[in-house]
Amino acid sequence: MPNSSSISEFLLLALADTRQLQLLHFWLFLGIHVAALLGNGLISTAVACDQRLHTPMYFFLLNLALLD
């Protein structure tokens, strides 16, 4: 029996209809994104600068931080 389903349209809904909630979501997601960038930058800086962190485990963490 072949699959006969098909998608004819795609509906993208907003997170909120009011301007205040849109701004709240924007600042919340921006804060989360900046925190993730700062955390990854801290990991990258720590691994690059500290000689004791030049082991395979920390190179793996550095790779994950750079890919994120």
pLDDT tens digits for 6-61?
778 877 787 788 889 999 999 999 999 999 999 999 999 999 999 999 999 999 99
- The tally of domains found in the chain comes to 1
With 0-12 CB in 10 A as exposed, 13-18 as middle and 19+ as buried, what is 47? buried
Rounded Cα distance between 67 and 6, Å, is 35
Per-residue pLDDT at 5 exceeds 90: no
Q: Phi, psi (5° rounding) for residue 48?
A: -70, -35
Task: Give 41's contacts (C-beta < 8 A, 6+ positions apart).
Answer: 65
Range of the domain at 51: 3-67
- pTM of this structure: 0.69
Rounded Cα distance between 2 and 55, Å, is 53
